[in-house]
Amino acid sequence: MTGLMRRWLRLACVVSAFAATGALMVDQADARSGRGGNIGTRGTRTYQPPATTPTAPNQAKPIERSMTQPGNPSAAARNPSAQPATQAARPSMMRNLLLGGLLGAGLATLFGAGALANVLGFVLQMLLFGGLIYLAVAFFRSRSQATRPATAMAGAGPNADRMERAVNRSATSVPGGSSPVLNLQQSDFDAFERLLSEIQLAYGRADLNALGDRVTPEMLSYFAGDLDDDAKRGVRNELGSPKLLQGDLSESWRDASGEWATVAMRYALTDAKVEIASGKVVDGSRTEPQEVTEIWTFRRRNGAGPEAWELAAIQQA
């Protein structure tokens, strides 16, 4: 075996170990609904950061997976069965690196070091070209998002034990947009707190029927995909009943696609991922609650009551 061949085999082994580590990191995700991600739609404000609040004083993470395309905020409402615009790419990248290392070793065996060098030179050129295109697209996309108008609503005040019961809190309209003021009542805040608990518990039971009654079709598609991935890996989620510790309103508004409310919530729950076959906890804890701060956006049809609110987006604070 030539020295070059041995080096390529060692590289393949390193890539394999790296891929296995990456896969483990992906599996060790949060068990709660949303998996600690930034998903869903906020209607006309999907790509605008929610207003900060005392509960979530830092700017929320931007939406990463949404059926709403920039410049077309009502697409998700019109076509809830569409595929998400952005998918997580890290596991696929790991697999591609592994396959690349094994392919390199195979080429060295079949064609020798000279042919392998030519092939690798071509591949590296293509990767460099593709990387330049990716950076250019990312640059122009970031510039486009940076020029979007910011929200004008300031955060509401906190409450130590319950979501703030602010009545007639509202968000001002987006400059140049159409977002009339939406007044919220005590019953709306009660609904948000109730949905926090019911959605988490339904997710822990993998109860898609219960989830479908409480979330938008887009969010249901994400949750169903996550639960299906868990089942294929032989794990399930165990979630304890969430306890709301603090919450306040970020913004609320009305547009052509419905009425919207974004609230910051800090809550505690037990969060564990369990191996189905053995019942062993592979990540998280059944007994030790963790505190989470998230930004949840709810949507209902125009003119509907508090019972019609559905979860439309989750963002990390």
Given this model, what pLDDT does residue 121 score? 58
Calculate mean pLDDT across residues 115-135: 57
Given this model, what pLDDT does residue 43 score? 94
Calculate mean pLDDT across residues 200-223: 97
Rounded to the nearest integer, the mean pLDDT of the chain is: 74
Q: Is the pLDDT of residue 66 over 80?
A: yes
59 to 66, 158, 264, 304: CA distances (angstroms): 19, 17, 11, 30
Calculate mean pLDDT across residues 24-49: 76
Q: One-letter amino acid identity for 149? A: P
> Which residues neighbour 227 within 8 Å (Cβ) at sequence distance 6 or greater?
203, 206, 208, 237
The angle at the Cα of 235, spanning 234 to 236, to the nearest 5 degrees, equals 135
Least confident of 88-92, 104-108, 267-271: 88-92
Calculate mean pLDDT across residues 300-315: 97
Can you tell me the distance from the alpha carbon of 24 to that of 75, in angstroms, rounded to the nearest whole number? 35
DSSP H helices, the chain, are 3-27, 75-78, 90-146, 186-204, 208-212, 217-233
The angle at the Cα of 273, spanning 219 to 214, to the nearest 5 degrees, equals 25
Least confident of 144-158, 178-192, 215-229: 144-158
Given this model, what pLDDT does residue 138 score? 58
Report the 3 state secondary structure along 36-88. Answer: CCCEECCHHHCCCCCCCCCCCCCCCCCCCECCCECCECCHHHHCCCCCCCCCC
Calculate mean pLDDT across residues 63-92: 57
Provide the whole-model pTM.
Answer: 0.62
Q: What is the CATH number of domain 37-82+151-316?
A: 3.10.450.240
Asked if residue 255 lies in contact with residue 212, where contact means CB atoms within 8 angstroms, the answer is no
State the pLDDT confidence band at 49, using cuts at 50, 70 and 90: very high
* pLDDT tens string 246-273: 999 999 999 999 999 999 999 999 999 9
Asked if residue 51 lies in contact with residue 251, where contact means CB atoms within 8 angstroms, the answer is yes
Given this model, what pLDDT does residue 70 score? 84
Given this model, what pLDDT does residue 99 score? 41
Given this model, what pLDDT does residue 180 score? 82
Range with the largest mean pLDDT of 71-75, 84-88, 167-171, 309-313: 309-313
Given this model, what pLDDT does residue 241 score? 87
State the pLDDT confidence band at 97, using cuts at 50, 70 and 90: very low
State the pLDDT confidence band at 181, using cuts at 50, 70 and 90: confident
Given this model, what pLDDT does residue 302 score? 96
Domain boundary assignment for the chain: 1-30+89-150, 37-82+151-316
Can you tell me the distance from the alpha carbon of 232 to that of 244, in angstroms, rounded to the nearest whole number? 32
Higher pLDDT, 195 or 126: 195
Q: Is the pLDDT of residue 158 over 60?
A: no
Specify the pairing of strand 235-239 against strand 243-255.
Answer: unpaired
Asked if residue 38 lies in contact with residue 62, where contact means CB atoms within 8 angstroms, the answer is yes
Q: One-letter amino acid identity for 273? A: K
Q: Is the pLDDT of residue 228 over 80?
A: yes
